[in-house]
Amino acid sequence: MPLSEHEQRLLEEMERSLYQNDADFVATVGARRGRPAYRSIVLGILVAVVGVGVLIAGVTFQIPVVGILGFVVMFGGVLIAIAPGKRSIGAGPSAANPAAGSAKPTKASQEGFMNKLNDRWDKRQDGQG
């Protein structure tokens, strides 16, 4: 059963919104992060291992304050290890390449995408009908 004109307009409006939101998402999340900061990863792992040792010591000697302190140190080490490097802060797609900032799909890619969706829809309808 074909879509009515109103349903087609709603579908096109949702598609435009999806393209806009997806482009924003890709620009935000897919930004190049640069090289990993190996120094902070190693430091974070060492701090986390020391924290595990203090945690185990606190549990062994049954001193809750030492155990909690060990957990806090271990957690801090993990945060140090996963923190982004100083070089990658503020490095978005526009910082490396000004042309890369426009992540909006072109009209040709939208039409290709829509053709693929239409073909998949037709195949589904033929299989069910």
Residue 123 CA to residue 121 CA, distance in Å, equals 5
Is residue 80 a part of any domain in this protein? Answer: yes
- Within a domain: residue 110? no
Place of tokens 């792992």: 45
pLDDT digits (tens, 9 = 90+) for 83-116: 876 654 444 444 444 444 455 555 555 567 778 8
Is the pTM higher than 0.95? The answer reads no
Nearest to 16 by CA among 94, 98, 121, 105: 105
Q: Is residue 13 in a domain?
A: no
Q: Helices 38-60 and 64-82 meet at what angle, rounded to 10?
A: 170
Higher pLDDT, 98 or 126: 126
DSSP 17-80: HHHHHHHHHHHHHS----S--HHHHHHHHHHHHHHHHHHHHHHHTT-HHHHHHHHHHHHHHHHH
* Alpha-carbon gap, residue 68 to 30, rounded angstroms: 37
The span from the CA of 41 to the CA of 37, in Å, is: 6
The domain total for the chain is 1
Residue 78 located in a structural domain: yes
Residue-wise pLDDT for 50-94, tens only, equals 999 999 999 999 999 999 999 999 999 999 999 876 654 444 444
Structural domain range at position 38: 34-85
CB crowding 38-69: b at 16 or more within 10 Å, else e? eebeeebeebbeebeebbeebeeeeeeebbeb
**Residue 39, domain member (yes or no):** yes
